[in-house]
Amino acid sequence: MKAKIDHDAKTYTIDLSKPLDISIGLRGDSKNPGAWYLSAPQINPVRDGDFVGKVSEGASVNFNNIRFNPHAHGTHTECVGHISREFHSINQILKKFFFTAKLISVEPEKRGEDSIITEEQLRSKIAKNEAEALVVRTLPNYIEKRSRKYSNTNWPYLEEAAARYIRECVVQHLLIDLPSVDKERDGGKLLAHKAFWNYPKNTRTDATITEFIYVSNNITDGEYLLNLQIASFENDASPAKPVLYKIQH
């Protein structure tokens, strides 16, 4: 099913029957990915006296409690409230859900013990005003990312200048297949987060960062429409379901 979407005075044709889901689903077991030194999420039936919220154990419905952390357990979208003293809710900030997007693949450069995505690498892949959203797939790209345990791995990250360049390209929504745009242990500096949001002097409160995505190798680099959906959490971050649609030319 093809659809024409009018967006920012332009019309885009997409095939709604061919969504490209780049989120990682949440599951309550050890196969779930993880970061920030937390154990796996828990999805368990409610137990109250003799009642067990599970049809296979006699209940009329399945009735589960879910315990997880949006930052540590899967695809999530966050706002500047993640790093600010003031409270900002992603549910109040993200009010539009379709954006022009560019997907790029980058192999981080080795610098000592670190792997870094540099400004120079990005300059060859995206230009100013080219897209509202930038989707970054790191190489090599293994399906194991969907279940990887990232704690204590010193994952790749964006250098401050690279995040600043993305901001200067007027990218409002940054998506990446890592637990964080910043170094795992950086002493709380959060240089990439701050550079992208231009925090704290002229903060871009309408910009978002989505982390912990997974982009299949079957999805080619290029231009897309992004549908960025979140759960209605009044929190700095929410679980997210970003979906790409190839633009039909």
CB neighbourhood size of 71 (10 A): 18
Question: What is the rounded CA–CA span in Å between residue 60 and residue 68?
Answer: 26
Task: Kindly state whether residue 147 falls inside one of the protein's structural domains.
Answer: yes
Task: Kindly state whether residue 61 falls inside one of the protein's structural domains.
Answer: no
155-203 per-position pLDDT tens digit: 999 999 999 999 999 999 999 999 999 999 999 999 999 999 999 999 9
Whether the Cβ atoms of residue 223 and residue 131 lie closer than 8 Å to each other:
yes
CATH code of residue 14: 3.50.30.50
Task: Kindly state whether residue 220 falls inside one of the protein's structural domains.
Answer: yes
Range of the domain at 11: 2-25+73-248
Interacting residues of 246 by C-beta distance below 8 A, sequence separation 6+: 14, 15, 18, 20, 222, 224
Query: Please, where are the H alpha helices in 147-203?
Result: 160-168, 191-197
Question: What is the rounded CA–CA span in Å between residue 68 and residue 218?
Answer: 30
Task: Kindly state whether residue 195 falls inside one of the protein's structural domains.
Answer: yes
pLDDT of residue 59: 97
Termini Cα distance of the chain: 15
Mean pLDDT across 13-26: 96
The alpha-carbon radius of gyration of the chain (Å, integer) is 19
**Nearest by Cα to 245 from 128, 230, 228:** 228
56-82 per-position pLDDT tens digit: 999 999 999 999 999 999 999 999 999
Task: Kindly state whether residue 34 falls inside one of the protein's structural domains.
Answer: no
pLDDT of residue 249: 73
Count how many domains the chain has.
1
120-151 per-position pLDDT tens digit: 999 999 999 999 999 999 999 999 999 999 99
Question: What is the rounded CA–CA span in Å between residue 246 and residue 221?
Answer: 10
Query: Structure pTM?
Result: 0.97
Question: What is the rounded CA–CA span in Å between residue 212 and residue 75?
Answer: 5
Question: What is the rounded CA–CA span in Å between residue 12 and residue 123?
Answer: 26
What kind and span of H or E run contains 136? strand 133-138
Task: Kindly state whether residue 40 falls inside one of the protein's structural domains.
Answer: no
CB neighbourhood size of 224 (10 A): 25
Task: Kindly state whether residue 126 falls inside one of the protein's structural domains.
Answer: yes
What length is written for the chain? 249
Which residues on neighbouring strands pair with residue 241, listed in sequence order? 229
Task: Kindly state whether residue 60 falls inside one of the protein's structural domains.
Answer: no
